[in-house]
Structure 1
């Protein structure tokens, strides 16, 4: 969405703890470039995670089906409403921008912080097609942010993100910088945004694998897919309970879902080890025949082969496990109100490292496969039929494309989480994406 007018956009700096940093922004308007610099400096100087929050006009056309809806009574919606209400009392820019009650809020978590909250969950998208699939109206090629002037909202005016169990917000940092302590707001936004991102990956994996299995007629793989997809119900219930700051019980069924997901991850790790071993055994610098490749990667030269089904099953298991990790992290964080964000980051990190290793291993296999040179089939005839030539060319093209959109770069990137707020105070949180 492009707005040619020079929009005035309020921006809050939200800390997850009581920190003091040198004055960096003051009350002067900022450009988008200056705001990006501010984020980097705050991330480097502060010993607690600091996020920025902007509010833009709500686009007329916004695909809300991509996000997770939360009603006005949910902790995240309440934290956001209290921040808006308190800010409007002392900031004319905030009052004007939030007067309608609705808006599109964009929270940006610096790369340094993103690395603490599971950098494998949100990675830069190398494929333009893939990136276009998750970008919202705010962050298109010529988005509003490029046209806007950002006005800092002072801490004294924005001291109201408190409320809910374990809240450490509501304390404006009276010091050298205009920071609002809003750990619950940042925690909930990150948790819901990351969960939505993982669920979007689950949806994509389900769509792909369902189509593949219809072609393969593989009952065992279909059962594996059904077992994994059946976990969604328990995960959705647990997500709703925790985001309302409730307590999980055995009746939710999260334990059995986690067990099924763990079994699928073990299977994915076993397949990955077999793929890596098969690639290691190939002669260096020599062309490989399709039939030889198919022994270790069944159907690799086909659009609907078993190898691709195994890839989608791994993607599905990883996406579901990422949602479970977020749930566990939120539960740990809410259990200790004095150590909110640190507990969240710590709980995410442990299991996420295993998923990072699995994802990067699969990415490495795909890149290595895409770089292979295919050899002509061996035969007694010096001339090949048109069908054999077509198969070779088609297989070479499909295998080269395996590396498209694959990112083996594990460096963290800034993460953006967009929240659409409605007039009644309810919100929709969209999947977290690279900022």
Structure 2
């Protein structure tokens, strides 16, 4: 966890293209609130997407297993090292903060850029027990405290060694604040952070599916699960190769993995259509018997059931597909080094729509189910047993819980990507989270 009250926090302003910073930005020390306002103004007024990069001391306890490690010669690590080295020559603040070689870098990407990654990919998750808090692996749930002082880092050198993603770091046209042109650094940080986020979703879905299938003993669902989980190896290898600026080959098996994922997404689409049709056939404004509901949604009234397994299989397919889309976008961007960020976001945007529609559709079904009123089972007996009453109450509670935490059309937030850098220049990129 970062303690923002302990020290001055250097912050870079990173551009993804040649642009100008509004004169409003200023050059002096800022509070956290002022930095947040600056990000909002830059997102609205700048011609090109502008990110900010903060540098903090590396926390004592850090679960590196949640992130994606990259060695010192990877494009992301090289671009980060280049930025740090160049700015440290001209900025005592940056030099002092990065002297130890071990730091935690926090990049915040504007919401309008984050929207390219998919509406449901990174959205706020409310923290239990903290009013207005957001759950995150490193950031204090209460947010950045006001006592922190953020100091803009001076301009970097205008030239840097090309490597990795292809472009160099330099200085863009600016207003009153230093603005470093760092499209490759932003692109690679976004790619790895989003990939790590999607992989975390995959791991969560795998845990849920495994538990459900142990209860169900459904061979067909088990086969679906195995085929999807078998895609992980090819995707992991492709991720490692691309993020080290390698070339993908047929031997990786990525094509067959994509086919299996697309097949699973097709099954999820068909199930979604059936669920919507079943809900449309229910009488409006009337209570529904459990038996009627479970015909179309088997096991919806229980902790484990086919319906819930189908939900988790869809979540797994979505998470895997999001990782594949990021890989395809990185490959596309690296093939056009003169136009990195625009190529990257275009490739992402084209392929996200289907995933967004599927995810929103499933969320809509869950919300509709959670609002249903359950009726007592019909029968000749005027009195029901305590067991029947208990089942009805449990089923009502479980069905109403389906809507917990579901957002049909989530508001896209700024995205934070946290990068731990070691003395040898290697990095670990953690899952993207709401800023």
**TM class, shorter-length:** over 0.9
SS of match in other structure, 1:359: helix
* Contact persistence 1:78–1:163 (CA under 8 A): no
Structure 2 residue aligned with 1:30: 30
Distance 2:161 2:345 in 1: 20
Distance change >3 Å, CA 146–CA 255, structure 1 → 2: farther
Distance 1:145 1:102 in 2: 23
> Cα offset for 1:2?
6.1
Structure 1 residue aligned with 2:10: 10
Q: Deviations over 1:106-129 (max 9, x none)?
A: 000111111123333212225649
Structure 2 residue aligned with 1:121: 121
Structure 1 residue aligned with 2:386: 386
Using structure 2 for the length normalisation, give the TM-score: 0.96
* Contact persistence 2:126–2:134 (CA under 8 A): no
Distance 1:286 1:205 in 2: 34
Structure 2 residue aligned with 1:346: 346
Distance 1:415 1:113 in 2: 9
Q: Does 1:366 align with 2:349?
A: no
Distance change >3 Å, CA 220–CA 161, structure 1 → 2: farther
Structure 2 residue aligned with 1:427: 427
Q: Does 1:220 align with 2:220?
A: yes
- Structure 1: which 5+ residue stretches go unaligned? none
Structure 2 residue aligned with 1:281: 281
Task: Using the TM superposition, name which of 143-152 and 67-76 deviates more.
Answer: 143-152
Structure 2 residue aligned with 1:61: 61
Using structure 1 for the length normalisation, give the TM-score: 0.96
Paired residues, number: 433
* Contact persistence 2:17–2:48 (CA under 8 A): yes
Structure 2 residue aligned with 1:247: 247
Distance change >3 Å, CA 161–CA 395, structure 1 → 2: farther
Distance 2:393 2:342 in 1: 53
Distance 1:2 1:197 in 2: 20
* Contact persistence 1:168–1:184 (CA under 8 A): yes
> Cα offset for 1:429?
0.3
* Contact persistence 2:165–2:245 (CA under 8 A): no
Task: Trace 1:322-337 onto structure 2 (pairs within 5 A).
Answer: 322-337=322-337
Q: Does 1:167 align with 2:163?
A: no
SS of match in other structure, 1:11: strand
Task: Using the TM superposition, name which of 15-24 and 48-57 deviates more.
Answer: 15-24
- Structure 2: which 5+ residue stretches go unaligned? none
> Cα offset for 1:140?
1.9
SS of match in other structure, 1:352: helix
* Contact persistence 2:116–2:352 (CA under 8 A): no
SS of match in other structure, 1:403: coil
Q: Does 1:136 align with 2:137?
A: yes
Distance 1:434 1:47 in 2: 23
Distance 1:161 1:401 in 2: 54
* Contact persistence 1:165–1:337 (CA under 8 A): no
Structure 2 residue aligned with 1:230: 230
Task: Using the TM superposition, name which of 406-415 and 332-341 deviates more.
Answer: 406-415
Q: Deviations over 1:220-243 (max 9, x none)?
A: 100100000000000001001110
Distance 1:187 1:136 in 2: 22
> Cα offset for 1:132?
9.4
Distance change >3 Å, CA 76–CA 430, structure 1 → 2: same
Distance change >3 Å, CA 132–CA 28, structure 1 → 2: closer
* Contact persistence 2:169–2:182 (CA under 8 A): yes
* Contact persistence 1:162–1:182 (CA under 8 A): no
SS of match in other structure, 2:338: coil
Distance 2:430 2:24 in 1: 30
Distance 2:229 2:133 in 1: 25
Q: Deviations over 1:169-199 (max 9, x none)?
A: 3221243241111000000000000000000
Distance 1:146 1:241 in 2: 41
SS of match in other structure, 1:59: coil
Task: Trace 1:264-343 onto structure 2 (pairs within 5 A).
Answer: 264-343=264-343
Distance 2:4 2:50 in 1: 30
